[in-house]
Amino acid sequence: MSVSRREALLSLAVTPILGSMPTVRPSGGPAARLKQSASRWCYRSIALPDLCRAGKAMGLSGIDLLASDDWPIVRQEGLVCSMGYAALRDDFIPRGFNDPANHDLLVGELERALPLAAQHGVPNLIAMFGNRQGRSDAQATDACVTGLRRIARRPSAMA
């Protein structure tokens, strides 16, 4: 069976999120099958504590895509940041692991963020694969695997 790059990356991104979020129990009823969250950037005009309270009232279990400064706010409101940023940069999306020249920077960001994420109960950090800049799918995938293995092998990555 052949798996496309998009399918492989999607499964890597989605699987940890679904298994790690707290169970949602709407109105004291049985546990819901889905654990839903909202991405912060969609609601950036709403103060984060207000967004958390509204989300919790709707049965959300978390808020996604938050910087480390926001993680304590979400926890204080009884939710989880289900996926956080290791760092905020203007080039966060295009500068990713598919270019080996970025590996030192990206691994460093993750090394600094992982212990903090564990401390604040953030189960996942987002990492970008970046723009391919002419690389083939195979080249880009191989570079991503090589870079991510550097952080996956570290004991602090398991904290």
In the chain, the number of structural domains is 1
Residue 25 lies in a domain: no
Average pLDDT taken over every residue of the chain:
84
* 4 has a pLDDT exceeding 70: no
* 107 has a pLDDT exceeding 90: yes
The whole model's pTM is what? Answer: 0.72
pLDDT digits (tens, 9 = 90+) for 111-130: 999 999 999 999 999 999 99
Closest CA to 60 of 30, 20, 25: 25
Q: What Å distances lie between residue 19 and 14, 16, 33, 113, 123, CA to CA?
A: 9, 5, 11, 21, 10
What's residue 135's pLDDT? 94
What is the extent of the structural domain holding 89? 5-17+36-158
Residue 13 lies in a domain: yes
Structure tokens at 151: 């952080």
Residue 94 lies in a domain: yes
Residue 24 lies in a domain: no
Residue 118 lies in a domain: yes
How far is residue 55 CA from its own chain's centroid?
18
